[in-house]
Amino acid sequence: MSGDRPSPLVIERILRDRGSIWQQIVAERDLNALTVRMLSSSAIALACYGAVLGAFHSPLMALTSALKLPLLFLVTLAICLPTLYLFNLVFGARLSVRQSLALVMVAITVTSMLAVAFAPISLFFLITAPDYGFFKLLNVAILTLSAVVGLRFLTGGMQVLNDHGLLAPEAANAQANAPVAVQAAPAPVQAVPAAVPAGATPAAGQGAEPVAVPVGAAVAESTPNGAATAAPVPAHVPAQWAGQPVGASFPPGAPVAQRPWGSPPVRRGDPSQRPASMTLLYIWILLFGFVGTQLAWTLRPFFGDPGQDFAFFRSIDGNFYAEILRTIANL
């Protein structure tokens, strides 16, 4: 399917035809509509999963968690998106704000849809094993796995933009000009003996007169029955072995010239050619994770401790990671 005829479900288009999503982002074609669709889909999916989290405590907690979980992702995006955009500008990338936002929204959409796909599993353990510590760790693991998969989509999209030269335009221009320089180079000339026509003999004491021909050109060969044939001179044969008969073997250690295009081309996506923007993307992902977890701790409760009364927010004390370690120790 193409970007002009999108799937009714944006997540289905992302998963089935992600190539058209990347092409649409590269071309900046109708990005506002695409971003709005991903934003609305993510908000609905995160609200549904948030309701499952809060259902462990009470219906009122389910309602507040349904509001706070989409808010968590959107506020984290609002905090971290300017950093991603400025990182790319500083290191020469040509990404626009809309392209950066669309890329991150692809990751959030995949994360939210994958999380809501785990909602029946979470509900199953809520009904059959209503243990607060286990339920909390289970859902933290689900959200972590969903986020890892979503961020892989983000890195994949950035790789596509890198291949189109939007992250390292100077390297892209150099790669585009490299084949032209190879084609413009004249073919080297080698001296090979000319073919002797059938029935003719060279003068006494004289051999075949060498003739200059380009590498790879056809060279006349004489067959046993006297007919003249044309055999191409391989481009990798050195000049001193160009006059050998067809099928002759070269001595051991004979030098062999390499064609300029014999080695595999260097891709811009190789680690040795990775632009600084890709390296900074991984740093930004870590920053996004730290900001998101700290904001989640600030906006808690999402689950609601059954031993405490309902509260829209808790006092800010401790941190997310210490709480997870304490929960694991208490299991």
| Strand 210-214 to 189-193 pairing | antiparallel
Place of tokens 């032209």: 180
Give the CA count within 13 Å in the CB-facing half-sphere of 328: 8
Residue 83's nearest CA partner among 292, 279, 287 is 287
DSSP-assigned beta bridge partners for residue 232? 218
Dihedral pair phi/psi, residue 229, rounded to 5°? -125, 165
Q: How many Cβ atoms sit within 10 Å of the Cβ of residue 175?
A: 17
Give the CA count within 13 Å in the CB-facing half-sphere of 233: 28
Mapping DSSP to helix (H, G, I), strand (E, B) and coil, where does residue 309 land? coil
Place of tokens 């004289």: 206
Q: Concatenate the DSSP letters of all residues of 67-126 into one string.
A: HHHHHHHHHHHHHHHHHHHHHHHHTT----HHHHHHHHHHHHHHHHHHHHHTHHHHHHHH
Cis amide linkage into residue 59, ω under 30° from 0: no
Is the Cβ–Cβ distance between 215 and 190 less than 8 Å? yes
Tokens of 6: 């999108």
Query: Does this model's pTM top 0.75?
Result: no
Give the CA count within 13 Å in the CB-facing half-sphere of 27: 11
pLDDT tens digits, the chain, 331 residues: what are they? 444 454 568 999 999 988 899 999 989 889 999 999 999 999 999 999 999 999 999 899 999 999 999 999 999 999 999 998 888 888 777 788 899 999 999 999 999 999 999 999 999 999 998 898 899 999 999 999 999 999 999 999 988 888 877 766 554 454 545 554 444 445 454 444 544 454 555 554 455 455 444 544 544 444 555 554 555 545 544 445 445 554 455 455 544 444 344 444 444 444 445 556 678 888 999 999 999 999 999 988 898 888 888 888 888 777 788 888 888 888 7
Tokens of 4: 């002009």
